[in-house]
Structure formats: structure tokens, C-alpha cells
Amino acid sequence: MKCLNPADATVRLRAMEPEDLDFLYSIENDDDLWEVGITNAPYSRYTLTSYIVNNTNDIYTDRQVRFVMENQEGRAVGMLDITHFDPRHLRAEIGIVVADHDRNQGYGRQALCHAIDYCRDILHLHQVFAIIDKGNSSSLALFRSVGFQEGAVLRQWLFGHEKYTDAVLMQIFL
């Protein structure tokens, strides 16, 4: 079953283009987002340009794929990553970020729906998971809204603001 009626979609997922450099730069260098990812240092424009140019966008080669979330006007509103792709166990991790000024407009939910359809229909995955800070109620609600369920609580999993916090393993079986 499709998560989203294509006629209702106001966001689409597409490959990164060189024109996305400024947007990617702003996302990757937003230190507020470092708490939810694995980055703890800024990226240079040179490094990000090299990433865009050299990225194959082939999940079987790179074991990951990054999408730009684009609204109906063609403006980038977020990024969605499928990482830790495991073709043997048919699972992958998903991560999403919506630009501050584009939050609470349904883009995140629609992008997750598109990604779930892609993972099920194109990659033929069995499972998609996300690891979310237990205190991030907005993200937990977003993932629940598209069918993810809590799989486990990972004790003291994330480190930020000089303390450890628990994370929730959210899973959806396709």
C-alpha cells in the first residue's frame, strides 16, 4: 500500500545537483543539527562540491543515497538520506532534515512516504529504521505518522550538551 497519494504530493525527492551546494552547505554546517548526526565539525565548500561531483548516487556502490526534498516551486526544502544499506539483510537506515523555515508544512511526512515507497518498491527492502533522540518528540511523531514503530530504547546512545541521552530505534517492516 502506498503511504501517500501521488496526486496529493507537494514535495518530491531528487538527486543532488551542483546548484544545491549552498543549501547542502547550510544544512551540513548547522551546528544545531550536529546533535542528531555524526558530524561535529563544519564542511568546506570544496569538500561538499567534491562530494556532489563524485557521488555515484548508486546505493549498491556507496551503500547510501542522498536525496534533496524539493517543493512544487522547485525549491530545496530538506534532505533525506538512506544509509547503512545492507543488501544481505535487506535493511537500511533513514534520516531526514527539513530546513527551519519549511518545517510543519507536511514536507517531512511526504518525503518519508516517498522514501518508504522507494525502499519497498525499488530496493525491495524488508526493513527501514531510524535512531531518534528520545527527547525529539517532533521526529518521533513524524516517523510514527508514516507507520514506524518503536523497536527498542538504546540507553545512553547519543552524546550532546555534555551528557548522554537515550535514543529510540524506530522500525518499519515493508
Per-residue model confidence as pLDDT tens digits over 99-138: 999 999 999 999 999 999 999 999 999 999 999 999 999 9
* Distance in angstroms (rounded) separating the CA atoms of residues 132 and 123: 23
Percent of the chain whose predicted confidence (pLDDT) is above 70: 91
Per-residue model confidence as pLDDT tens digits over 23-60: 998 888 877 766 666 666 778 888 888 888 888 889 99
**Cell numbers placing 37:** 548526526
Alpha carbon dihedral 84, 144, 101, 135, in 10-degree steps, equals: -80
More confident residue, 63 or 43: 63
* Distance in angstroms (rounded) separating the CA atoms of residues 71 and 146: 19
**Cell numbers placing 11:** 514535495
Q: What is the pLDDT of residue 94?
A: 98
Per-residue model confidence as pLDDT tens digits over 148-165: 999 999 999 998 888 999
